[in-house]
Amino acid sequence: MRILVSGANGYLGSGIVKNLIDLGHQVIASDFVLNRVDDRATKKASNLFEVENPYDFYENPDVLLHLAWRDGFIHQSDAHFEDLPKHYHFIKKMAESGLKQIAVMGTMHEVGFYEGCIDENTPCHPKNFYGIAKNALRDATKEICQEHDVVYQWLRGFYIVGNSEYGSSVFSKITAAAAAGKQEFPFTSGKNKYDFLDYNDFCYQVAKAVSQNTISGIINICSGKPVSLADRVEEFIKENNYNIQLKYGAFPDRAYDSDAIWGDNSKIQKILKGN
């Protein structure tokens, strides 16, 4: 398939593009700059919100994988609401142009405070601007796809483990701190349990999800297992042989974070097994 990937130069985008190409797809990559994108992709350096006819400009793709999002790790940023109508209009233009399938990267923060396993029917009551904006785009994208008979996929991401310094996760920050020679890393209590997925597995799951159109709706990109943040971070430090220790309690736990939250991975497992 011809797949347009927005936000292709980002931490997730660069890995997902590589996986899509490895699976045999033709990728059109969009971002402001594309220096970290696989050279096998067709690169379109651009501001997608300012393209008048994006379907034509991006060479008539079969699928849109919309990863682009500003300030994803700054949960109370005003950018989430400033950009929301831009995301809506871009997706609407693509759907109206004859696109067959739209997949958008979501987040478990859409759900808000919840204890236990999240599936596609779990009610959403987001507790921060990031989650509120993503959840609004999810509802809008679903309506747009239904109106224009487009396959709708919402890829709900959980927590990603990777040792790249480009990301903004705690794992990327620890990697950067270790590279800078720091021996201590300020941390929370680490008691909260989350759903962690290694970076390469995350990118592969996303690529496989958009490579098919029989399983749609909300698809959790996850492991399906709850693990405490402290345990996973300590394991990460050992895996990478970092000479750094966690300073527990340096930061308070966020009030809107659940004690234990993880994803139902039944849909993604069906996809990985060939439906």
Catalytic member of 55, 58, 130, 194: 130
Alpha carbon 75 to chain centroid, angstroms: 14
Of the candidates 273, 212, 196, the one whose C-alpha atom is nearest the C-alpha of residue 63 is 212
Element (H, E) at 270: helix 266-272
In the annotation, is 130 catalytic? yes
Residue 189 CA: distances (Å) to CA of 76, 192, 253: 22, 8, 7
* Cα–Cα dist 65/150, whole Å: 13
* Cα–Cα dist 103/37, whole Å: 19
Instruction: List all residues 6 or more positions away from 112 whose beta carbon is below 8 Å from its beta carbon.
Output: 124, 125, 126, 127, 131, 256
HEC profile for 201-245?
HHHHHHHHHHCCCCCCEEEEECCCCEEEHHHHHHHHHHHCCCCCE
* Cα–Cα dist 230/213, whole Å: 37
Residue 100, number of CB atoms within 10 A of its CB: 15
Phi/psi of residue 7, each to 5°?
Answer: 65, 35
> Looking at the annotation, which residues are catalytic?
130
